[in-house]
């Protein structure tokens, strides 16, 4: 709960009341002032302790309870105290800043190199790749379907950057027995990043779904009429 502490400013007799707040955030305990929590009007923390609002729930010791990860709340609190933008755990702190609706912190984190690269540069690139998200989902479905009593399953991927490459890739696919093999195609796209950049993005987004994966150049089967390094790669999904 809150505790009132009284202090005298130097040379004066006026008493200043400071409200001390104890918080239990996901099991981690924090102590701060009411003014710190209300620093940014409109944030969830400010609204939580606004006059006239219902009191937040408390734990068994009377501390205000917030059902969020306490690990990252220390960075939120440090920003409220000193305007210090965290440089550690940036993506996790960003999620908490969004939850608490602390607008200035959200904006500063979005402008930081780790999030700018993810939220702006990489997403703008992937927006140039047709049906990228759908292709990632298709890879996951194929990998699951091939994971019968096996430690690993593989997905063949065709990556083409230009329209000319797309035509050549289709010619190569026509030389395969497509009834026996499923191929997920990515591209073409009009943006500077290379095929390797896209492969890294695919790996990153597949692993963001909880899979363990790796990729290598596709090893051709007999009768395959094109160099494997041109367009084709195998993604391995490790299940255990």
Smallest CA-to-CA distance from 33 within 16, 52, 13 is with 16
Write the burial class of residue 232 (CB in 10 Å: 0-12 exposed, 13-18 middle, 19+ buried).
buried
- The pLDDT of residue 54: 86
- The pLDDT of residue 170: 81
- The pLDDT of residue 63: 95
In the chain, the domains with their CATH numbers are 2-122 (3.30.710.10), 129-238 (no CATH)
Please give the Cα distance from 194 to 51 (Å, whole number).
55
Listed as ranges, residues in the chain with pLDDT below 70 are 1-17, 175-181, 221-229
């Amino acid at each position: 709960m809150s505790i009132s502490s009284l202090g005298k400013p130097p040379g004066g007799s006026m008493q200043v009341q400071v409200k001390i707040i104890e918080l239990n955030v996901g099991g981690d305990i924090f102590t701060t002032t009411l003014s710190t929590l209300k620093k940014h009007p409109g944030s969830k923390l400010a609204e939580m302790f606004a006059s006239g609002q219902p009191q937040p729930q408390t734990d068994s010791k009377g501390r205000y309870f917030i059902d969020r990860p306490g690990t990252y709340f220390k960075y939120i609190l440090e920003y409220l105290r000193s305007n210090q933008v965290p440089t550690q755990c940036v993506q996790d702190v960003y999620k908490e800043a969004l939850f608490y609706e602390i607008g200035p912190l959200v904006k500063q984190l979005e402008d930081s190199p780790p999030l700018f690269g993810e939220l702006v540069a990489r997403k703008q690139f992937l927006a140039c790749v047709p049906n990228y998200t759908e292709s990632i989902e298709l890879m996951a479905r194929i990998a699951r379907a091939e994971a019968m009593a096996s430690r690993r399953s593989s997905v063949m991927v065709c990556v083409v950057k230009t329209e000319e490459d797309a035509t050549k890739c289709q010619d190569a696919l026509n030389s395969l027995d497509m009834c026996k093999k499923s191929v997920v195609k990515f591209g073409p796209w009009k943006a500077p990043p290379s095929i390797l950049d896209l492969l890294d993005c695919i790996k990153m987004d597949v692993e963001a779904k909880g899979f363990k994966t790796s990729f290598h150049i596709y090893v051709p089967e007999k009768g395959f009429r094109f160099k494997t390094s041109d367009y084709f790669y195998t993604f391995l999904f490790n299940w255990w």
